[in-house]
Amino acid sequence: MLYADFEKRLDLFTLKVHIDAESGIFSLFGASGAGKSMTLKCIAGIEKPDRGIIRLGDKVLFDSEKHIDLTPQKRHVGYLFQEYALFPDMTVAGNIKAGLHHLPRRERQAKAAELMERFRISPLADKRPATLSGGEKQRVALARIFASEPEVLLLDEPFSSLDTFLKWELIPYFKETLQSFAGCSIMVSHNIDEIISLCDTVSVIQNGVAEPAVGIDDFQAMIKAKYPSVYLRNS
């Protein structure tokens, strides 16, 4: 589904990413500043790798040798930003309609209503993002992403701006939403519990170098063996 093999020189290290993700939820696990968000930004076309290839299905998004570099607009990725990046001067309904620009104007209203129903945010339609709670913002951001009909989901620390209680309340719903999505999802996180409860495969990224991906069970075993103290604290 998503194949990414690229390098990008950063200030402190060189980011080396190799991702070959099938449908399901693929995770990049690593400390803050390990290059996780940069990886997602390169896949989305917000940042440009120095060299390499990024393919989505058989569509080439980026190929440094063939000088292919599609704009983010043409990549059809759904990007969930850490703080959700809702447009502050639009209502919830306006934000979702902004994701529906590929549709004719008269169809947007009905489609937006349908999405708001699905993500249980209909009562918030006329509210501004600043007045929403963290969980509501997340649902609006997800609805907006699904409005744009993405082929891959990029999730940047989706729970980092929520408190722990709220997080565990939201995770089942979040998982259900991701599982209803036909394409693959790439989630970056520095939280072991989030990854174990949501993801299928994990690649550990350290100082910009992404290790080969392993299944979630192997990841759990590895963490347990390598960092028993971390594992105990988190379980």
Partner 1 sequence: MMDLYPLLNSLRIAAISAVIVFFIGIAAAYYIAKCPRIIKGVLDVIFTLPLVLPPTVVGYLLLLVLGPKRLIGSFFLEHFDQKLTMQWWSAIFAVTVIVFPLMYRTARGAFENFDENLASAGRTLGLSNTYIFWRIRIPACKQGIIAGVVLAFARALGEYGATSMIAGYTPGKTATVSTAVYNLWRIGNDELALKWVLINIAISAVVLLCINLVEKPYKRRSR
Residues that bind partner 1 (CB under 8 A): 41, 44-46, 71-73, 75-79, 81-83, 85, 87-90, 98-99, 101-102, 130, 144-145, 147-148
Q: How far is the CB of 99 from partner 1 (least distance, A)?
A: 5
Nearer to partner 1, 57 or 215 (CB): 57
Q: Confirm if 30 and 9 have CB atoms less than 8 A apart.
A: no
Looking from the CA of 122 toward its CB, the CA atoms found within 13 Å total: 9
How far apart CA 156 and CA 145 sit, in angstroms, is 13
Nearer to partner 1, 30 or 99 (CB): 99
Q: How far is the CB of 10 from partner 1 (least distance, A)?
A: 17
Q: How far is the CB of 145 from partner 1 (least distance, A)?
A: 8
Nearer to partner 1, 71 or 229 (CB): 71
Q: How far is the CB of 190 from partner 1 (least distance, A)?
A: 19
Task: Characterize 132-145 residue by residue with b for buried, 16 or more Cβ atoms within 10 angstroms of its Cβ, and e for exposed.
Answer: beebbbbbbbbbbb
Strands 59-63 and 68-69: antiparallel
Nearer to partner 1, 130 or 232 (CB): 130
- Other Cβ atoms less than 10 A from the Cβ of 150: the count is 19
